[in-house]
Every structure is written in C-alpha cells, then in structure tokens.
Structure 1
C-alpha cells in the first residue's frame, strides 16, 4: 500500500519524476512536430504564390516520392493546395493534442504537487560565470602586444 496510490499509480518520487519527464518529453515532441509542419505549410504557400500567377499550361516539376516529374501548373497547383490544407488540418489536430497534454500535465502537477524550480541561484551563477568568462576573453586581446 505504501508504494502505490489510488488507481495503481506509483507513489515514490522517482517514479513520479519519470512519468512527469515522459509527459514533458511527449509534449516537446508535439511542439517540434507542429513547428516542422508549420514550416512545410510556409513552403507550400511560397510555391503556391510563385506559380499561381503563371500560365496554367506552363511546364513545372514536382518531387513525388523522391522522383522529379514533369507536369503543368494547372495539374500541380490544386495538388499543392490540397497538401497545404491537409497539413493545416494535421496542425490543428496536433494543437488539440497539445492542449490535452498540457491539461494532463497540469493535472499531474496538481495531483503530485509538482513545482518547477527555475533556479534563481543557478541563473545568477551562470550569468556571473558567463560575465566573468566574457571579461576574460575581452581582457586577453586588449592586453596583447602587437
């Protein structure tokens, strides 16, 4: 009984910390996937804006599965627009999943009374070290003989 909480969840600090870390890692993966897909949507927009004003019968090339194929703009433009819309839908679903994960993490933090320490002392120490090392770098060249 001492090793388990309600619902069979582990109670010891290490297990809670591991679960919390896994949840945070999953949230970070969702963030990075959203960022990656947003960059692809941006690239699709650039392509659409570049080829839209051109003659629809003009030749253009499209990479499909690692193979460069020759098409016309009137064939490629709708496909690129559909891909962009599909990516935007996936991003919307990932944003929903991200919100759910954030809520799950917040509930987990509340349940186990987890507080993230920003480490005011650590920040001051690091900035002090950085400042000191920066002064060392600046003093070295200024005091050199040339």
Structure 2
C-alpha cells in the first residue's frame, strides 16, 4: 500500500500534525487481528463506552493504561498446562487493543462483568476553551 502524502495539509494549516499522524497510523496499522471484539457506544452527549469481550479473563489479567491520548487495553492469561483439550475454541491468548482518544476525552472508570470489560469515557472541555459571551459596555 502506498503512503498517503499529507504535505498539502501541512502547508495550509497549523496544529493539525496530530490529526495527520492519526490518519497515517489508521491507514498503515495492521487491523487483521480482530481479537478481542469490541463495541464503541455513544451513551449521551460527551459520554462514551468501549466494551471488549474478554471471556475467560480475570480482573488481575487485564491492564488498562492511558498515555498522551492513547488508551491501551492488554490481557495476559496465566499459563496453565494442566488441562488437556479435545477442542479449544475459546481464545486464551494475550492481546493488546489500542484506541486513539480525541482531545479532552477522559477515562472515568472500567468495569468487568459477565466477560465484558466496559471502559467509561467522557469529553470534558476545560472552562477556558468553552464559548463565552462577551458583554459590550457603554462608553
């Protein structure tokens, strides 16, 4: 696949370097692995949830990190060689899923229930960046 040339974007704009790198990463990332499956849900204005199907994973085998706008969810099963299987259809492998978070998206918490890991997100724009009305004074 050919790399996308984003030079015109850089010539006519300022501050979109993160957007350009996100776009470039999205086009070059190998998304062949679909494990574990997940949903991204809009709950309310500015509130979101990411739900991952992590059947068989215990709370201590899951790790969630946020670093500079990148949410990373990792699962690592404890090694178990005691079992002998005739058929093994339930995935039991290590995984790592990464999600790029938009500006001002904060992780509010995570919950593991019935094999589903739900991560709550909320968009919180700082007061200084919210629109405000400026009153015109009389001279």
Identify the TM-score tier after normalising by the shorter chain.
Answer: under 0.3
The structure with the greater share of residues assigned to helix is 1
Determine which structure has more spread, i.e. the larger CA radius of gyration: 1
TM-score normalised per structure 1:
0.22
Q: Which protein is richer in strand relative to its size?
A: 2
TM-score, normalized by length of structure 2? 0.23
